[in-house]
């Protein structure tokens, strides 16, 4: 049965049921096949997406913009100096004005509250394109990558190595929704936020997924089905970069770590990558790495999200 997702915001995967997420993955898979066979699908013709960026981006910006173009619509880039979200004008007023012009708003902001506030006052769907707290669109693409290469998702284990950051939060919740086990392996003091882990554990109780935090990389990586990592210093933490390099030194995906995982394991990284920090180049180039397929899947997953919510 098709669930009607029109008008829905994507602020956190927590708000979406497993069935709704699966529906997006099916739709993404179909749209991807249509791109490959050259079948046009201008299903958002005449519609516009506003894209608010308070931080830099390659994947998010280009995949949303291209996605809208492929769906027959149009996207407008609004950079940090343009609208001054919450500075030149309140978030509420931006949401009310923008949503009277466009059919969807994608926002990459520092604070999670800003995206929540946009959704509260917007008359059109708001999509979270990354905040300091989470990155649900990235995880949709990650789940699509696992979904299209594995016969099942339930019961698979994902081991995330690195900072307990926005990616760790969204991955924990996304894995829990799909019944996948999730372990965040990080240095002491860099654990993911309790709030996010509690949300994931609550979901996991229903889906049978175990959500853990650990500190020993080799121990956690043994037999893992999916290895995942992200930068040690996220956008906004540039000043801590050098200090973090020393603290996170042992929290790296390299061949030694990859070789203790399950025989058919896969490696994922949301990118951008910092080679010889959180991941080595030989791992990214290994056949077990799906990193660039994963990056491509941002396009297909987000097109499904826009089509389902904005058509």
Identify each DSSP E strand in 54-156 by its residue range. 74-78, 104-108, 126-128
DSSP state of 51: E
- Using DSSP bridges, classify how beta strands 157-161 and 226-229 pair: parallel, antiparallel or unpaired: parallel
Which of 229, 12, 231, 51 minimizes the C-alpha distance to 133? 12
State the catalytic residue, choosing from 8, 9, 59, 135. Answer: 135
State the catalytic residue, choosing from 23, 65, 138, 294. Answer: 138
Residues 81-140 that bind ligand CP (CB under 6 A): 130, 138
Residue 249 bears catalytic tag: no
Q: Among residues 235, 247, 260, 262, which is the contact residue for ligand NVA, using CB under 6 A?
A: 235
**Rounded Cα gap, residues 289 and 255, in angstroms:** 11
Q: Among residues 54, 230, 277, 278, which is the contact residue for ligand NVA, using CB under 6 A?
A: 230
Q: Among residues 20, 57, 210, 237, which is the contact residue for ligand CP, using CB under 6 A?
A: 57
State the catalytic residue, choosing from 132, 142, 163, 230. Answer: 230
Residues in CB range of 292: below 8 A, 6 or more apart:
none
**Would you say 60 and 130 are in contact if contact means Cβ atoms under 8 Å apart?**
yes
State the catalytic residue, choosing from 8, 298, 300, 302. Answer: 298
- In angstroms, the first-to-last Cα distance of the chain is 18
**Rounded Cα gap, residues 285 and 288, in angstroms:** 8
Residues 113-142 that bind ligand NVA (CB under 6 A): 130
Beta-bridge partner residues of 184: 160, 213
Residues 250-279 that bind ligand CP (CB under 6 A): 270-271
Residue 108 bears catalytic tag: yes
Q: How far is the CB of 224 from ligand CP (least distance, A)?
A: 21
Q: How far is the CB of 201 from ligand NVA (least distance, A)?
A: 22
List the single partner that 71 binds among ligand CP, ligand NVA, none, CB under 5 to 8 Å by kind. Answer: none
Output 67 or 204, the one with its CB closest to ligand CP: 67
Residues taking part in catalysis: 108, 135, 138, 230, 270, 298
């Amino acid at each position: 049965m098709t669930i009607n997702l029109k008008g829905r915001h994507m602020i956190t995967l927590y708000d979406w049921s497993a069935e709704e997420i699966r529906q997006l993955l099916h739709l993404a898979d179909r749209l991807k096949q249509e791109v490959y066979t050259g079948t046009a699908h201008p299903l958002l013709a005449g519609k516009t997406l506003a894209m608010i960026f308070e931080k830099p981006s390659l994947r998010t910006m280009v995949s949303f913009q291209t996605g809208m173009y492929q769906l027959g619509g149009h996207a407008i880039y609004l950079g940090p100096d343009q609208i001054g979200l919450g500075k030149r004008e309140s978030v509420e007023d931006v949401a009310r004005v923008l949503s009277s012009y466009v059919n969807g708003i994608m926002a990459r902001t520092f604070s999670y509250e800003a995206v929540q506030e946009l959704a509260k006052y917007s008359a059109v769907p708001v999509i979270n394109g990354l905040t300091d707290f989470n990155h649900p669109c990235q995880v949709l693409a990650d789940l699509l990558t696992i979904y299209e290469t594995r016969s099942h998702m339930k019961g698979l284990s994902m081991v995330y190595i690195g900072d307990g950051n926005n990616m760790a939060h969204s991955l924990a919740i996304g894995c829990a929704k799909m019944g996948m086990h999730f372990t965040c392996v990080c240095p002491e003091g860099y654990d993911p936020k309790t709030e996010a882990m509690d949300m994931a554990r609550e979901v996991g109780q229903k889906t049978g997924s175990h959500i853990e935090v650990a500190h020993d990389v080799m121990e956690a990586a043994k037999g893992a089905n999916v290895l995942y990592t992200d930068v040690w210093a996220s956008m906004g933490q540039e000043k801590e970069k050098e200090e973090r390099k020393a603290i996170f030194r042992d929290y790296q995906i390299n061949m030694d770590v990859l070789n203790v995982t399950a025989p058919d394991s896969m490696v994922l990284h949301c990118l951008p990558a910092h080679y010889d920090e959180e991941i080595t180049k030989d791992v990214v180039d290994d056949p077990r790495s799906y990193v660039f397929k994963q990056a491509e899947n941002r396009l297909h997953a987000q097109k499904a999200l826009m089509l389902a919510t904005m058509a």
